[in-house]
């Protein structure tokens, strides 16, 4: 499904790909990630559109949480060999910047599940990836920061509804890009496979995830120090 609006630079990137296919071979890498449910997807698309209205570049793919990257197409995982998600996935209530200031993302929290899933999916084909990729297991990418180099306070201060979800769908995309160009200016994304994982249980773990999300949100504030228990 396409975004409601497309940044002009993405169209330029798409036209460049069409013109350059006969002139230079495309490079390709693969991203495995988690798809959000419809309510979260709709909110993420709205945030991407708001980000594009600031003159910046929106994330070039459908909303997802990147979990692992590969230089060669990975085999679909066996569900029984992946770690279980013990409570619903909880998105944060504000947007964040990556440490390098390159990406705006909507953080999500699921205890230790994302690091465990990332480790379980890791293979020997991570070498040769392009630079400036999305953060892994941290949230849904909203867009790039190109013009200002920093997230201006108040830029995206619109309400973010509270969501959480239990249905877990893992997908793999192949991403083609032109060498020498920024990979995220490419529109050539192709799904390789999709796998439904075991649903997260609806139990007290949801409260644990909410408490964990609030603690991590507080820890990101300047000058915050957690008191020892």
CATH number of the structural domain spanning residue 187? 3.90.1140
Q: Is residue 19 part of a domain?
A: no
pTM: 0.74
Euclidean distance between CA atoms 154 and 220, whole angstroms: 17
Query: Which pLDDT value is given to residue 212?
Result: 54
Euclidean distance between CA atoms 110 and 70, whole angstroms: 23
Q: Is residue 228 part of a domain?
A: no
Total domains, the chain: 1
Q: Is residue 173 part of a domain?
A: yes
Chain centre to alpha carbon of residue 78:
22
Nearest-5° Cα angle at 11, 13 to 106: 85
Q: Is residue 6 part of a domain?
A: no
Query: Which pLDDT value is given to residue 159?
Result: 61
Query: Which pLDDT value is given to residue 187?
Result: 59
What burial class does residue 66 get, using C-beta atoms within 10 Å of its C-beta: 0-12 exposed, 13-18 middle, 19+ buried?
buried
Query: Which pLDDT value is given to residue 191?
Result: 92
Helix (H) or strand (E) holding 6, with range, is none
Q: Is residue 92 part of a domain?
A: yes
Q: Is residue 15 part of a domain?
A: no
Instruction: Collect the ranges in the chain with pLDDT lower than 50.
Output: 1-22, 149-156, 205-206, 209, 224-229
What burial class does residue 47 get, using C-beta atoms within 10 Å of its C-beta: 0-12 exposed, 13-18 middle, 19+ buried?
buried
Q: Give the domain extent around 133.
A: 27-75+84-219
Query: Which pLDDT value is given to residue 214?
Result: 53
Query: Which pLDDT value is given to residue 126?
Result: 66
For residues 41, 193, 129, 53, the Cα torsion angle rounded to the nearest 10 degrees is -20
Q: Is residue 7 part of a domain?
A: no
The β-bridge relationship of strands 57-58 and 189-196 is unpaired
Query: Which pLDDT value is given to residue 20?
Result: 43
């Amino acid at each position: 499904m396409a975004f409601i609006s497309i940044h002009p630079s993405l169209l330029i990137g798409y036209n460049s790909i069409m013109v350059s296919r006969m002139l230079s071979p495309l490079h390709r890498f693969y991203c495995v990630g988690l798809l959000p449910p419809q309510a979260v997807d709709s909110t993420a698309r709205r945030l991407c559109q708001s980000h594009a209205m600031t003159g910046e570049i929106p994330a070039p793919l459908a909303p997802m949480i990147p979990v692992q990257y590969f230089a060669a197409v990975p085999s679909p995982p066996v569900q029984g060999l992946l770690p279980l998600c013990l409570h619903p996935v909880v998105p944060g209530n504000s947007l964040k910047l990556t440490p390098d200031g390159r990406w705006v993302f909507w953080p999500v929290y699921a205890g230790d599940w994302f690091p465990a899933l990332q480790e379980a999916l890791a293979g020997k084909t991570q070498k040769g990836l392009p630079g400036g990729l999305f953060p892994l297991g941290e949230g849904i990418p909203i867009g790039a920061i190109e013009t200002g180099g920093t997230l201006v306070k108040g830029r995206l201060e619109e309400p973010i509804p509270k969501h959480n979800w239990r249905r877990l769908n893992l997908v793999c995309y192949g991403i083609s890009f032109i060498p020498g160009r920024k990979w995220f200016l490419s529109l050539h994304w192709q799904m390789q496979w999709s796998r439904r994982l075991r649903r997260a249980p609806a139990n007290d773990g949801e409260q644990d995830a909410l408490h964990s999300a609030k603690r991590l949100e507080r820890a990101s504030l300047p000058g915050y120090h957690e008191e020892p228990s």
